[in-house]
Structure formats: structure tokens, C-alpha cells
Copies of this chain bind each other. A is one copy, B any other.
Amino acid sequence: MTHTVKAMLETHPIGSGSVDQEKLAACIAVCFECAQVCTACADACLSEEMVADLTACIRKNLDCADICAATGNVLSRQTGSNTEVLRAQLQSCMVACRACGDECAQHADMHEHCKVCAEACHRCEQGQVPGSGVAILR
């Protein structure tokens, strides 16, 4: 996905302004990755026999999915300037990824999908790929 994200930034008539294009592309890609993983993790938790013990996790998954998807969309736009909004939404995305990642990390030993999800949330928040996470762009 990062490949097409980068291609779209490179072909934009305005470009990404003062923001590093590599970092921005990586950041957009991890937002969409995290949105998908959180949606899938909510669903995987739902199919666990012990679903009753995972409802707080599912809730955080669903919130994080919605917030990451919105953040990915806002980041994908370069027209005009909406810096204050971008900053506030990146802040919310960081908080959501931390809350969901921390929750999933608690079930990571028992549920492999929570482990994958905790890692995706952490990547989206902090950026395991250097410069990819929303923490860096905020």
C-alpha cells in the first residue's frame, strides 16, 4: 500500500508541503493498516469462546478502527491547509492506538490476533518503521 500512497503524493499538484513525503506516506499507510487490523481483531475476539472476557477489547478495537480510518483520510488531503485539525486528529489517533494497543497487549499471550493488533497499534502510534507513526507527524 505504501507504494501507491507515495505515488499519489508524488503526483499531487501541490505535494505535501513542508512535510517529509516518505514519512507522510508511511504514516498514511500505517493508519489504514491499523484500521483494518482493529476491525479484524474486533471480529476475531467476537469469535472467541471467551468473548465475554473480551468486550472491553472489542470496544477499543472498534473505536481505534474508526479513528484511524478518519485520520488516514485527513492525512491523505493536501488541498488548502487544515493544520490545527490535522494536529488534533493525530493526537486523538495516538491516544486511541495507545489505548487499544495496551488492551490488546494484555491478551497477546492468549490470542495471537491481539498480538498482531497490539503491534499494528504500536506501529501506528510510534512508528517501528522509522518515521512512520502518527507521533512523529503531530
User: Interface of A with B (CB < 8 Å)?
Assistant: 1, 4-5, 7-9, 11-14, 28-29, 32-33, 35-37, 39-44, 46-49, 51-52, 55-60, 62-67, 69-70, 72-74, 76-82, 84-86, 88-89, 91-92, 94-96, 99, 111-113, 115-117, 120
Of B1, B44, B89, which contacts A13 at CB under 8 A? B44
Chain A interface main SS type: helix
Please, how many angstroms separate the alpha-carbon atoms of A81 and B123 in the complex?
23
Q: Which residues of B contact A44 (CB under 8 A)?
A: 8, 11-13, 78
- Cβ A76 vs Cβ B40 within 8 A: yes
Q: Which residue of B lies closest to A111 (CB)?
A: B11
